[in-house]
Structure 1
Amino acid sequence: MKYVSGFLSIVIALFISSTGAEDVLVYGQVGGTVTLPRLMLGSESVLVKWYFGTEANPLIIRNIQGREMIVSVQPVSPLLAGTNLTLKCDIEEIFDGTQRRWLSPQKQDLNKDTRAKIGNDGSLTVVRVTGQESGEWTCVVTYQGREAYANTHVTVIDLSPAHSQPIYTSVSSHSLLDLPCFFSIPLPLSWSDSQEKGIQGGRWTFTPSPAEGSCTGVVQTLVNLSLGPPLAWVVNQKRGLNVSALQSKNQNLSLSKKGVTEGDRGEYTCAVEFQRDGTLKRRMCVEVLQLFPSPAPVAFVGQEVNLTCTLGHPLTSDLEVKWIPPHPSSRLPLGSSPHPTLLTIPKATYRDGGRWECELWRNKTKLTSVKITLKIERVPIDVWLLVTICAAAVIFVLLLILTVILIRRHRQRVMRPRRGKRRFCNCKE
């Protein structure tokens, strides 16, 4: 991890009034402004003349030169997001009670930032800086009840925006999947300046999400950066990505796709590699909402129909689905659960046909939705005829089998020989 250092030097200017008042300590920065104030002596207001050389009167010194105030600022070179920033606030001579603290570009006190470490020598180290750290960093010196400020500009090159995770979309031929990724280069730095840091390569990769929903699997390369010259993006067109942003402006690395399927679930990574400073990455996990009927989108009157609304894995506790039936007056057969991911219609009717919509919500925020058209039809006459014929055939076969069994039993009885007692004839004469 590279460190980028900058030094802010603040000098002590010691002025003694002609009236013999105690010495006053004033700090100033090279290129900055120093105001020498009027002092309040006792209970009376007295105008004190400050002398610098042979001139008198209240004095404002502008554009302080190094030989006068011995103040210097070492410029800070641009750094990549994820690296560490080191700054140092130097004072030539420190008196009792002098304190130093740091303010971020958002004017937040770095004493409260867990990523910041402030040393006793006035040094500041901030780990894993982001593009939000670009701007004016301020060293605040407190002395004799007053404050002096020294500023330095820090430029952080980052990939933006840091999109809220994950990105939610739905299965539809009209759904648009946006994958934002572009260089955040604060002014006055330009794209050419960032290229001077030595771009070694870049790529978009995709890791499909398995059925259980974790973003793991075989990594697929979607786009590769050809070093050229000139720089060019080589695109794998199999996934139907729109790369117009890549081709129109090198600073914009965004991709998009129209017509989302469940196969688009997974983790997308935008990465740009630099020769000396490392790699900038922006990861985006894409969740795709899907709605499908069972057994089919076309059902018959009286048939049981199941509608499943899913992300491909069980919903977390902060997510819920809301069903919107085809007709506002329709009542949902929801059972005990108000928002189930599986909705069962025990006996479908014509009123259940139409466009069903499933919405995915987090708290009071709608994330995405998906629609499907369910058709409910009467059982066709030819189907009833087929059922009748089949039933008649079964009955005929059963009767035929029963008849054969009865005939065989009858024949067995006829052919069986009779066994009985011998009879004798007794004649009288």
Structure 2
Amino acid sequence: MLGLILIPLFITVLKAQESQEVIYAQVGGTVTLPRDKIERKDGNIKTQDIYVNWFLDSENTLIINRNPQISINKGTNARVSLSADFSLQISPVEESDFVIWRCEQHVLARNYKKTYKLYKVSIPKVPALLVGGRLFLKYVKDVSSVNPSVTWISPKNEGCQEHKNTKDTVLVPSVSTCHNGVWTCQLKYENKKTEATTTVSVIDLAPSPADPIYTSISQSSTVSIPCALSSAIPWSVLNETLQGGSWSFTPLSEPRSPLSLLTLNVGSVVRWDLANGANFTDGKRVITNHNLSIQNLPVKETIRGVYKCSLKFNTKTISREVKVEVLKVSPSGSLKVFEGTRLNVTCSLGHMNTAGLEVKWTCASNCPPFNHKSPPHLSVLSFPKIRMQDKGLVKCELWKNSQKLTSAQLYLRVEKAPVDIWLCVAIGSGVVVFILLVAFAIIYIRRHKQMMMYRRRKTRFCCCNNNKQPKGFYKT
């Protein structure tokens, strides 16, 4: 008896559901409930003359309406609006919107009603994945009278091929940066299309430069060592699995032992701190917009080497290496040379050059032939007798595959040898020689006189003084 009562009730419910137009939507998305167009064959009734009212089926409250005489009533719900053909648009969709909606149209003396049932479709959010991790996506929808077809569309990333999948789920055994971004689940049913989206975050570092960074030593020259996350993942998400990070440096010269430069502080404020015992005070270490680079590092010979940026997570450590080459041009002596002297100018990276590199010299005048037989880590430009026209800039350029990598230069100051200096030297030398000759002559004369004094005998004579008066008193 009870079954006989429930069967008619069930049939009534099914008929009611069949009379409702099924619309799928995603929370936070946008959905349109299409209004049926009411037109007559004689063309006397135009769309602009139709009154349109939208209601929630469970309520008699008017949500929004269109009156051709008083324009559109926007109602009190800011998320609801009418399109150009007076269809109902809801944006963004909220949980409370998955109910029955009713559209009433008034054309002259006739009324037209239609109901819509909004069903929810969603994609469970997946946590951020480390590169190489496993990705699994599926969609979840409310049961309705329609059976939509499903198409998954992968993110549109530059350099990556877009993939489409017609299965209900998506499984990627090993994700890469190509899988980072917005995935779209497209549902098609009864000439309608609904899209549900989810964002997949793949944690990885941006690729390192394919070639080394070439720079040169010059006044106030700086270089930046790049390191950045491949996508703008919030630090709040990274901190869930991020344990730390570091910058290290391995010089190209001996000894080639890694040196710790910086460590990553992943507390409330993400920043680079100096590693224990590190003597690294150059360059800016500010982290902005997921940029982990060392910026504005002053160029010196000591910065030649391989820089390694690493991020350590719970299950994996990802890192990138950047090689920095420094070109230096230097003279064999002082930059100030005198005309006619020999000068060698050396251009070097400080180590064995990579195959394919070419050195080009540019001088103020015609450059002399440089030494092709010099060691492979340097190039030597020889001036056998430098001239006044060689004065000026000497530039060394480093090229590879018709592309200029970097250049270094110096300014040669060529001067004539001053004549007055040689004259003073000659006069001074003459005076010194003359003084020495006079001194030798005086010494010789004195010694000669002393020798003669010993050889001569002098006769001595005794003289008597007879003019002495006798003693006594005299009368005057």
- Category of TM-score, reference length = shorter chain: 0.5 to 0.7
- Counterparts of 2:269 and 2:306 in 1: how far apart (Å)? 29
Pick one of 394, 397, 404 that aligns with 1:356. 394
How far has the Cα of 1:71 moved from its partner? Answer: 2.2
Matched letter for residue 247 of structure 2: W
Do structure 1's residue 241 and structure 2's residue 281 form an aligned pair? Answer: yes
- Partner Cα separation in structure 1 for residue 56 and residue 388 of structure 2: 97
Superposition deviation, residue 208 in structure 1:
1.9
Partner residue of 2:245?
Answer: 202
**Distance in 2 of aligned mates of 1:27 and 1:230:** 43
Other structure's SS at 2:285 match = helix
Pick 1 or 2: higher relative contact order, CA cutoff 8 A, min separation 6.
Answer: 1
TM-score of the two chains, using structure 2 as the length reference: 0.54
Cα offset, 1:233, TM superposition: 1.9
For 1:125, the equivalent position in structure 2 comes to: 172
User: What CA RMSD, in Å, does the superposition of the two structures yield over aligned residues?
Assistant: 5.3
**Pairwise CA distance, 1:245:** 2.8
Give the CA deviation at 1:179: 2.4
Alignment of 1:278-427 (within 5 A): 278-294=316-332, 301-302=339-340, 305-311=343-349, 312-317=351-356, 320-325=358-363, 327=364, 330-333=365-368, 342-345=380-383, 347-361=385-399, 366-376=404-414
Secondary structure of the structure 1 residue equivalent to 2:32: strand
Does structure 2 conserve the Cα–Cα contact (< 8 Å) formed by 1:27 and 1:148? yes
Q: Check conservation: 2:123, 2:139, Cα contact below 8 A.
A: no
Shift of 1:297: 5.4
Could you tell me how far 1:150 is from its partner in structure 2?
1.3
| 1:149 Cα deviation after fit | 1.6
Against the structure 1 CA distance between its residues 129 and 79, is the aligned structure 2 distance closer, same or farther, given a 3 Å change threshold? Answer: same
Superposition pairs for residues 1-400 of structure 1, below 5 Å? 27-37=24-34, 60=88, 62=90, 63=93, 65=95, 69-81=119-131, 83-89=133-139, 98-104=149-155, 106=157, 112-113=161-162, 118=165, 120-125=167-172, 127-130=174-177, 135-142=181-188, 147-159=193-205, 165-172=211-218, 174-181=220-227, 186=232, 189=234, 191-195=235-239, 197-209=240-252, 217-225=256-264, 233-235=273-275, 240-242=280-282, 244-245=284-285, 253-256=292-295, 258-274=297-313, 276-294=314-332, 301-302=339-340, 305-311=343-349, 312-317=351-356, 320-325=358-363, 327=364, 330-333=365-368, 342-345=380-383, 347-361=385-399, 366-376=404-414
Larger Rg: 2
Cα distance in 1 between the residues matched to 2:303 and 2:328: 11
Q: For residues 159 and 305 of structure 2, what CA distance do their matches in structure 1 show?
A: 39
Pair 1:181–1:16, CA change in 2 (3 A)? same
Provide the identity percentage: 32
User: How far has the Cα of 1:347 moved from its partner?
Assistant: 4.1
Residue identity opposite 1:104 in structure 2: P
> Offset of 1:254 from its aligned partner?
3.7
* Deviation by residue 1:359-416 (Cα, 9 ceiling, x = unmatched): 3456786543212233546679999x9xxxxxxxxxxxxxxxxxxxxxxxxxxxxxxx
Further displaced range: 358-367 or 343-352: 358-367
Between the aligned partners of 1:233 and 1:306, the Cα distance in structure 2 is 44
Match of 2:221, SS? strand
Alignment partners' CA distance in 2, 1:145 and 1:346: 87
User: Judging changes above 3 Å, is the alpha-carbon distance between structure 1 residues 80 and 94 closer, same or farther for their aligned structure 2 residues?
Assistant: farther
d(CA) in 2 for partners of 1:371, 1:292: 8
The aligned residue for residue 82 of structure 2 is none
**Unpaired runs of at least 5, structure 1:** 1-13, 19-23, 386-429
Aligned counterparts of 1:128 and 1:334: Cα–Cα separation in 2: 55
Count of paired positions: 345
